[in-house]
Structure 1
């Protein structure tokens, strides 16, 4: 790999293949910034075996971000490793009080850290009060006035414990549909959509190290997926003064893959870390960088942000 290709590869946080040997090969060959673990990486293994595997991954790629989606409730990867443990949703925890919410969040963060996982794609900062909404069951199911402080407290707690958190899904799902299989569009007015920014503003003020950008289209901001939109990243980085890592939602999702190379579009738009990006598209990124289509300053900014994240949360 060329020096440029190596730099670009370090802006990928790849999805686990589910195969330990293949994951290790990819980490050794490409040196991506991180690896996203799924239930399939934990199921059927002992706690000791998982720790050993993750330690080997970190040896293969120093500074590796080992990430997981452990929101609780419907999205609980740890349940595959600890089937007898309960991981309630964010909303269920908060209903028992802020102290209980934080106490349970601390237990989960410490479990992750003990395993060797240093990045949790939580908390969900989306606002929804509609039980029929796709995202409702994963949210705190409260208004911005209560969601913001809870999100901020969660992020500060994780920082103290040395585990990176991630506020998602910017700029807010609202009551839009699921983007895993098909495009979704938010047709609300700008005034309505801006209410969804309040929890993210609270997250930024709390020092959230990563923010995940959604694939849904928020029509009042820009056409097309937010994760590929320069306007969305300008909103996040310039208007909201966010200096951390902007990570795409998983680029393996159908909505993102409607483009032949969403990795290039996302980087050009302002993404710093490509979740689920295809490493086989590295030559396209390299060619774009060499031609100037992908500006050097854009690459440099992303590299600095990602390296800072790795330095701050290395295990």
Structure 2
């Protein structure tokens, strides 16, 4: 097992997917230990630092990468297994932004009402108790929340030489903001260019489904991943798998179309894995499926469709790559 280290300097962070030279090259089966900065680029250091004043818009959501994966060619599937995701600082930050979030006027959803106040919340993180402390800004209400670290932004270079800002999720992955991208999950991404060019960032110490206010508990992270390549079987949209569920995604506006994309993909995936025809798979997904919202605040919204793996009987996605990567992760942690 080869282990690589990726700790970008501030000038090495990327703000786009596509059109960027890789920082490192790895082989399938390799582990990458990497650091990521928070979505504010580390510039918000107190509750008085308003993000709109201290962070240029073009420098929000820095990602670490790209990572070139040897042997990944157009039409393949890149499998990214998250071994561990651990906050790198003793605090996390959340905020409201003007013209950003699900419950405020935005540039795309115009209203006569004023945008919400910009406000910053600092959360103390305790890795020993694995909690974050919420403190209301206008009262003495305090509550400890369990940590559930995740990466909001993970993606590869888009197809056809396109360059996409990191804030917009789409077929290449990107800023999907689903809490399902946590330790123990394998994310499947379409390979659109040679080497895939994987980048990730936007760590959240935890986040509710939908990312309603537009931010999670934004945190710099120390993360370990192991990668693999599945030859052929090109994906239309990113998929995920953990020990209990297979999951499909859709990222677009309006939200109902994102829902339909994710559900259609899950029905097709279920049909492929079980050998059932489309309508039988449709019936099964309709009765057992879950449909959490990942984000309803980004330039594209993201929906998930989930199906419990026990319903697939003995079928394994992509020849059991999640199971193999899970084993590799345990070997890495047991060194």
TM > 0.5 between the two? no
From the two aligned structures, give the one with the greater strand fraction. Answer: 2
- TM-score (normalizing by structure 2): 0.26
- TM-score (normalizing by structure 1): 0.28
Q: Which has the larger radius of gyration?
A: 2
From the two aligned structures, give the one with the greater helix fraction. Answer: 1
